């Protein structure tokens, strides 16, 4: 591991923090702090110099002692003086220092007043409300500490969208029934359709917050009330999902909705834009001096900063503000734009429905075509099809299509991409299909260069059409493949192929940022259900959410084409 100047600076900073907590000589503390700053900003790589055997240059404020420590860190990556301090101070102190917003002064105050010397003791102190009463601390800091401890212990669970939806929608329905409640919306990452949410943020418009708070904290799913104030409360539901609730005056609802929808980065950028116009934005409204100029609706907030309303899925500060300021935003794809679905499984492999049941369910969901794409022979656990069974299924599809009204079944396969990039069925049979969906289901751990070669080779296959769940990520289970995605996407375009956005809520793959890359490179994305049961067509809503986060419009989506427009696109010409 190479040691950077920033690493040396971080060690000096931590030494300064720990010395300060110990009550060491302030000059010594300052010497470390100053050295941290100078080294952090120093123009040349100090570790590289040391490791090449060269003498350290003269650094202002760094005497012999500190220069020795720089050499030690540069060669070993460690610092005995820091390790000594770690031994002298309880582990909780180091833990506390890592919490953003807690500097050495506040850590020292916590340590002196509460004598917490383990992370458990610290958590216990926060949970029993002993931190909020210390001078200079409050409920907010206390909650912050608890949250940070959870993150550090890996306890902070994120919930997938459908799970969060299940709890949140029921709670919202219940809140809507409270007398005096004018509006209820879920804000936060949930509204931005992020694939997982850390907690649920609910916003209520009402003149009187009291009754709302009473009802909310008395909801029978509540396991623990973390905070209960006049206009805000936080609870943990039995499922472990945290819910933050805010009650605002109806006049402020739009401003509050904007604020709590976030993302934080987006909010900061909007606030900056307001400042440039002599305005102030917060959760209560937009203000010029004392005068409120907007806030009742979200659109009024955007208008005040000379922007059109920006869809929540775009609010990640990924250029949406700059874009909206100079040109109309894309009209993001909607579920109703989808004409078909190019990926599903029947009983023939690992699905639970017949072809006919799938066709009828897809038609009931407003689709006009559906590609049947069973697994291929290699995937024996999923009863993958060999050439013979696939040919038989193609005949069955012909027979079914003759009798079906309002929907057409397409002949496809989700063929395994083998370790070396070959496809798991003979070319002769692949050539007879309407489309070939290729997927990686094994050997996720190949070195990136080999993985890339494997995928490129598969895409080069003359019958290849669509790369299924391209990054292969599964939330909580498997990380995305680390590849040069720009290069791969360009290869897909050169070969006249397409990428899939698999709508299963634990995949949502293609990931938003690569959707946008595909759009910019002119590669169409198919938003598919990957249904294994008739109910799974409902997952298309989640796929659409991710597609919108990736800035996709209907024109960027392969299966937003009518069947007649789709057919020529499926013909490989390159």
Pairing, β 196-197 against β 525-528:
unpaired
Q: Which of residues 197-236 bind Ca ion (CB under 5 A)?
A: 199, 201
Q: Which is nearer to Ca ion, 104 or 188 (CB)?
A: 188
Nearest-5° angle of CA 3, CA 9, CA 13?
135
**Residue with token string 């049947």:** 372
Reported in sequence order, the residue ranges of 171-231 that DSSP labels E, i.e. its strands, are 181-186, 196-197, 200-206, 222-228
**Contacting residue, 188, 285, 412, 545, with Ca ion by CB under 5 A:** 188
CB-CB neighbours of 243 under 10 Å? 24
CB-CB neighbours of 378 under 10 Å? 17
Backbone angles phi, psi at 492, to 5 degrees: -60, -40
Q: How far is the CB of 272 from ligand DGT (least distance, A)?
A: 11
Query: How many residues contact ligand DGT, by CB under 6 A?
Result: 14
Tell me the per-residue interface mask from 96 to 135 with ligand DGT, x by CB under 6 A, - otherwise: ----------------------------------------
Q: Which region, judged by CB under 5 A, interacts with Ca ion, from 3-11, 243-251, 263-271, 537-545?
A: 243-251
Is 505 near ligand DGT (CB under 6 A)?
A: no
**Contacting residue, 170, 268, 325, 428, with ligand DGT by CB under 6 A:** 268
Is 559 near ligand DGT (CB under 6 A)?
A: no
Q: Which of residues 246-265 bind ligand DGT (CB under 6 A)?
A: 259-260, 262-264
Contact 350, 536 (CB under 8 A): no
Q: Which region, judged by CB under 6 A, interacts with ligand DGT, from 46-54, 195-203, 221-229, 444-452?
A: 195-203
Q: Which region, judged by CB under 5 A, interacts with Ca ion, from 72-80, 193-201, 350-358, 519-527?
A: 193-201
The token duo for 406 is 């309002």
- Cα 47 versus chain centre, distance: 36
Is 234 near ligand DGT (CB under 6 A)?
A: no
Cα–Cα dist 129/124, whole Å: 9
Give whole-number Cα distances, 571 to 171, 262, 312, in Å.
49, 43, 37
Q: CA dihedral in degrees (517, 518, 522, 527; nearest 10)?
A: -140
Task: Choose from Ca ion, ligand DGT, none: what does 268 bind? Cβ within 5-8 Å by kind.
Answer: ligand DGT
Is 267 near ligand DGT (CB under 6 A)?
A: yes
The token duo for 269 is 């950028």
Give whole-number Cα distances, 306 to 12, 190, 255, 310, 321, in Å.
46, 26, 15, 12, 10
Is 201 near ligand DGT (CB under 6 A)?
A: yes
Q: Which is nearer to ligand DGT, 86 or 160 (CB)?
A: 160
Is 316 near Ca ion (CB under 5 A)?
A: no
Q: How far is the CB of 151 from ligand DGT (least distance, A)?
A: 10
Q: Is the dihedral of CA 289, 290, 295, 296 positive or negative?
A: negative
- Listed residue (248, 220, 222, 221) closest to 234, CA to CA: 222
Is 377 near ligand DGT (CB under 6 A)?
A: no
Task: Choose from ligand DGT, Ca ion, none: what does 438 bind? Cβ within 5-8 Å by kind.
Answer: none
Q: Which is nearer to ligand DGT, 262 or 330 (CB)?
A: 262
Task: Choose from ligand DGT, Ca ion, none: what does 263 bind? Cβ within 5-8 Å by kind.
Answer: ligand DGT
Q: How far is the CB of 214 from ligand DGT (least distance, A)?
A: 23
Is 195 near Ca ion (CB under 5 A)?
A: no
Query: How many residues contact Ca ion, by CB under 5 A?
Result: 5
**Residue with token string 């590849």:** 483
- Listed residue (309, 307, 291) closest to 299, CA to CA: 309
Task: Choose from Ca ion, ligand DGT, none: what does 341 bind? Cβ within 5-8 Å by kind.
Answer: none
- Listed residue (532, 77, 550) closest to 349, CA to CA: 532
Q: Which is nearer to Ca ion, 244 or 506 (CB)?
A: 244
Q: Which region, judged by CB under 6 A, interacts with ligand DGT, from 189-197, 250-258, 328-336, 412-420?
A: 189-197
Is 167 near ligand DGT (CB under 6 A)?
A: no
Residues that bind ligand DGT (CB under 6 A): 188-189, 194, 197-199, 201, 259-260, 262-264, 267-268
């Amino acid at each position: 591991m190479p040691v950077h100047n920033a690493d040396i600076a971080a060690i000096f900073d931590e030494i300064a923090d720990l010395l300060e907590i110990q009550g060491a000589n302030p000059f010594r503390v300052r010497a470390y702090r100053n050295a941290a700053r100078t080294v952090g900003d120093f123009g040349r790589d100090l570790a590289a110099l040391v490791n090449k055997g060269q003498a350290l240059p003269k650094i202002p404020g760094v005497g012999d002692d500190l220069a020795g420590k720089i050499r030690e860190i540069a060669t070993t990556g460690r610092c005995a003086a820091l390790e000594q301090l770690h031994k002298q101070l309880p582990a909780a102190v180091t833990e506390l220092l890592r919490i953003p917003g807690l500097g050495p002064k506040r850590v020292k105050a916590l340590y002196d007043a509460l004598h917490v010397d383990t992370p458990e003791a610290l958590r216990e102190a926060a949970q029993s409300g002993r931190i909020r009463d210390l001078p200079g601390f409050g409920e907010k800091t206390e909650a912050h500490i608890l949250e940070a401890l959870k993150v550090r212990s890996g306890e902070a669970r994120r919930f997938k969208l459908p799970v969060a939806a299940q709890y949140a929608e029921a709670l919202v329905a219940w809140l809507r029934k409270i007398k005096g409640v004018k509006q209820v919306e879920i804000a936060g990452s949930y509204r931005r359709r992020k694939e997982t949410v850390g907690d649920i943020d609910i916003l209520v418009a009402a003149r009187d917050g009291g009754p709302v708070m009473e009802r909310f904290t008395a909801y029978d799913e509540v396991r623990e009330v973390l905070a209960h104030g006049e206009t805000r409360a936080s609870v943990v539901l039995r499922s472990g999902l945290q819910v933050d609730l805010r009650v605002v005056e109806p006049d402020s609802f739009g401003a509050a909705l904007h604020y709590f929808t976030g993302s934080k980065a987006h909010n900061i950028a909007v606030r900056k834009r307001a400042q440039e116009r002599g305005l102030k934005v917060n959760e209560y409204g937009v203000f010029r001096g004392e005068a409120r100029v907007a806030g009742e609706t979200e659109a009024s907030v955007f208008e005040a900063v000379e922007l059109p309303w920006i869809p929540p899925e775009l609010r990640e500060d990924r250029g949406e503000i700059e874009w909206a300021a100079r040109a109309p935003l894309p009209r993001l794809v909607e579920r109703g734009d989808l004409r078909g679905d190019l990926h599903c499984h029947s009983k023939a492999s690992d699905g639970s429905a017949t072809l006919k049941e799938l066709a009828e369910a897809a038609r009931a969901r407003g689709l006009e075509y559906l590609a049947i794409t069973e697994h291929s022979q290699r995937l024996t656990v999923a009863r993958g099809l060999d050439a013979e069974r696939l040919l038989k299924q193609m005949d069955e599809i012909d027979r079914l299509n003759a009798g079906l009204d309002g929907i057409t079944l397409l002949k496809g396969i989700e063929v395994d991409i083998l370790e070396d990039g070959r496809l798991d069925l003979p070319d002769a049979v692949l050539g007879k299909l309407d489309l070939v969906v290729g997927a990686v289901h094994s050997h996720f751990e190949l070195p990136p260069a080999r993985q890339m070669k494997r995928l490129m080779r598969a895409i080069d296959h003359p019958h290849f059409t669509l790369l299924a769940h391209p990054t292969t990520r599964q939330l909580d289970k498997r990380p995305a493949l680390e590849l040069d995605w720009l290069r791969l996407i360009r290869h897909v375009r050169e070969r006249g192929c397409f990428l899939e956005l698999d709508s299963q809520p634990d995949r949502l793959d293609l990931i938003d940022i690569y959707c946008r890359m595909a759009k910019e490179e002119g590669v169409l994305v198919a938003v598919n259900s990957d249904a294994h049961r008739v109910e799974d067509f409902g997952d298309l809503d989640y796929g659409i959410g991710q597609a919108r986060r990736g800035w996709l419009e209907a024109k960027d989506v392969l299966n937003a084409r009518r069947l007649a427009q789709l057919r020529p696109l499926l013909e490989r010409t390159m």
